[in-house]
């Protein structure tokens, strides 16, 4: 057989996808991604809208399953997918590593079932979910840690230093996450820790005593606190 015919047969080789098995995989991936979304909403630590973000999990998982199920049946399609992805530019605003980690998990679920590795995928899913829940429960038993957003339209030259000094007096842990200063005012985002929740209100009063125009917002990992 000529070499050209052998290569053509190699690239055109395809396999059949069992419709019933594919339907079962669709249901399984949808269920696992839905459960993962619930875990992310409950135990995630991202400051973005976790509910809206988790709503994408099922669609991403199912799309990944469909792509892998189709391209694995033909080497030519697989190579075509590589070429297509090389010209696609993803510009989604994934700002936090945790969001990216969960997206990879969702894609891994779709990949596993699409490659017929459902058993190891299911086993890994159970183990990882248990670890995420255990980590979430452990974090909740620690001292309260909140994100503190501060905004004022009347910025002073030493505003950040004065605000930091006040925070240090009322918190057990302090980390500056973002700081923006312009002609329109000052915005700062801190990650702070407290020995108990009673210090949250005392810190709020101290900040407003320093500058009555300060807008103070505490955020826990479920949303707005005050």
Which residue ranges form the domains of the chain, and what is each CATH number? 15-140 (no CATH), 145-224 (3.30.70.2690)
Torsion of CA 114, 118, 122, 124, to 10 degrees: -80
pTM: 0.59
Q: Dump pLDDT digits (tens) for 170-193.
A: 888 888 888 887 777 788 888 887
- 110-137 per-residue burial string, b: 16 or more CB within 10 A, e: under 16: bbbbbeeebeebeeebeeebeebeeebe
The Cα–Cα gap between 197 and 16 comes to 60
The per-residue pLDDT for range 19-74, each reduced to its tens digit, is 899 999 999 999 999 999 999 988 887 766 788 889 999 999 999 899 888 887 66
């Amino acid at each position: 057989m000529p070499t050209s015919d052998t290569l053509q047969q190699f690239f055109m080789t395809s396999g059949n996808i069992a419709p019933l098995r594919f339907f079962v995989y669709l249901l399984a991936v949808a269920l696992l991604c839905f459960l993962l979304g619930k875990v992310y909403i409950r135990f995630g630590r991202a400051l973005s809208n976790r509910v809206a973000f988790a709503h994408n999990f099922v669609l991403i998982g199912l799309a990944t399953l469909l792509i892998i199920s189709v391209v694995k049946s033909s080497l030519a399609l697989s190579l075509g997918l590589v070429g297509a992805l090389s010209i696609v530019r993803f510009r989604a605003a994934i700002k936090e590593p945790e969001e990216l980690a969960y997206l990879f998990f969702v894609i891994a679920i779709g990949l596993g079932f699409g490659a017929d590795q459902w058993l190891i995928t299911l086993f890994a899913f159970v183990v990882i979910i248990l670890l995420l829940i255990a980590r979430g429960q452990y974090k909740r038993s620690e001292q309260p840690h909140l994100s503190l957003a501060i905004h004022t339209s009347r910025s002073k030259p030493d505003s950040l230093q004065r605000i930091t000094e006040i925070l240090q007096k009322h918190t057990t842990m302090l980390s500056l996450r973002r700081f923006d200063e312009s002609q329109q005012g000052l915005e700062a985002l801190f990650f702070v820790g407290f020995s108990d929740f009673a210090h949250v209100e005392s810190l709020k009063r101290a900040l407003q005593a320093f500058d009555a125009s300060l807008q103070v917002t505490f955020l826990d990992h479920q949303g707005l606190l005050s």
